[in-house]
Amino acid sequence: MKKILLLILAGLVAVSCNDEEKIIGRERTFAVKSTTSDWPRNVYGAISRTYEVAASGAEGGWSARLLDGQQGFVLETDAAANTFTVSIGENTGMINLEDKVCVTYSGEMIYLSLLQISNYFSVSPGADMGGGIYKYTVGDDGVSTYTGTIANPGTGTVSVTRVSGSELFTPVLEPADRPTSLRFTAPANVTFFPNEAVYEVAVSDKPDQTVRIDVWQPGLEVPAGGQPDATAPGGYYYPLVCGVDVAGVNIPVDANATWNDVFDPELTLAQNNTSANQMAAVNPCPDGWNAPTEAQLKRIMSEENWTWDKTADPKGPDFFYWNMRDGGRSDREIFGATRENPEIRPWSCETRSNTQPQAWRMLVNRSSNASVKVSSAGRTTKMGSGNYAYIVRCVREAK
């Protein structure tokens, strides 16, 4: 009797410790496989695949569902045949479509990844400039600083056409036979203004999928205190406190030229015993600008416009600088005086009423005894070079 009880207990222990995958000696199976081939990963056209589910050894049946269900994939099950079919039409959109099928049986899950690529022609929008703005960028030296990707050009020819803006940019498609990247180059920008343009990128066999992009090249950095202005010589100006704008650079003149050569080459102005100032016969400045009058020179000379800090390092930017009406300041002597050549002399466009043929000038001195003064000099004085050089600098009244 004891032997019979021991055998019964041993049998109960064997059943209770059996693997959960087996029920009374039957092994559970669960597998999913395509009846043809696996789901493709590089197709944009219509796709359909039927899968067979092998599930046995556990209570209940299997089920299948799409995890997202919003990407356009269609799932149809046939429980009687133990199959399900996934299908999708051609992808005519701009993005790849992805989803997953989750097949469940007795608590276990098998996942199948679904992908349908886009065949829509697309081009990277450009570098992120912030605020939702994207642009293809070129450095001020003319070298490309952004390369975009071209997707799905098909067998057509890719073209890049300027719509508006600067004509300085050159599109570069690589490789040439079937381009997959786009960048732009340009000549070095020697102005203080950016170059911008709008382009359209198209492929010949998909004309309805043309992409519009922006291209941008920064200008040079305007010196401290300056403001960019395309009309000003040099492309920028200094807005002095007194209300006179001073162009960023000089008008180029020959070192051997005189005031007469620049302002009165035909000698049409009276040379002696003039009772009033005479305006120069020639204005060497661009429209809207002129060499300063006597009155403008004397306004520029005012100490509200410039600062001389005797305690500052004579070699540094704080020793002598000019003040701007927007509260800014220059970091240098704006007319060209330096520590090595401390005095520069801008010419006026007016002669001086005098018994001698003279013209007004300003003397900007950046020496250890800095000053800005106005006086006159003979109209045959040569421009010269180095220290005490005469220059022609354009100005205008503040707008």
Q: pLDDT digits over 218-270, tens only?
A: 988 899 999 999 899 988 999 999 999 999 999 999 999 999 999 999 999 99
pTM higher than the cut 0.75: no
296 within 8 A of 279, measured Cβ to Cβ? no
Phi and psi, residue 216, nearest 5°: -145, 135
pLDDT of residue 1: 42
Average pLDDT along the chain: 90
Block mean pLDDT (10 aa), the chain, length 399? 40 38 64 92 92 92 93 94 95 89 95 91 94 96 96 89 97 93 95 92 91 95 92 93 96 95 95 92 96 97 95 93 96 91 95 93 94 95 87 95
pLDDT of residue 26: 61
What b-and-e string marks burial along 66-99, b requiring 16 or more CB atoms within 10 Å of the CB? beeeebebeeebeeeeebbebebeebeeeeebeb
Q: pLDDT digits over 160-188, tens only?
A: 999 999 999 999 999 988 899 999 999 99
C-alpha distances in angstroms, 230 versus 192, 233, 244, 251? Answer: 8, 8, 17, 15
Sequence-distant (6+) residues with CB within 8 A of 84 are 50, 51, 53, 64, 75, 76, 77, 78, 101, 103
Sheet holding 227-228, edge to edge: 227-228, 236-239, 244-250, 393-397
- Would you call 8 helix, strand, or coil by DSSP? helix
With CA atoms as reference, report the closest residue to 395 among 273, 295, 307: 295
pLDDT of residue 143: 97
Distance, in Å, from the CA atom of 107 to the CA atom of 53, rounded to the nearest integer, reads: 15
Phi and psi, residue 209, nearest 5°: -115, 30
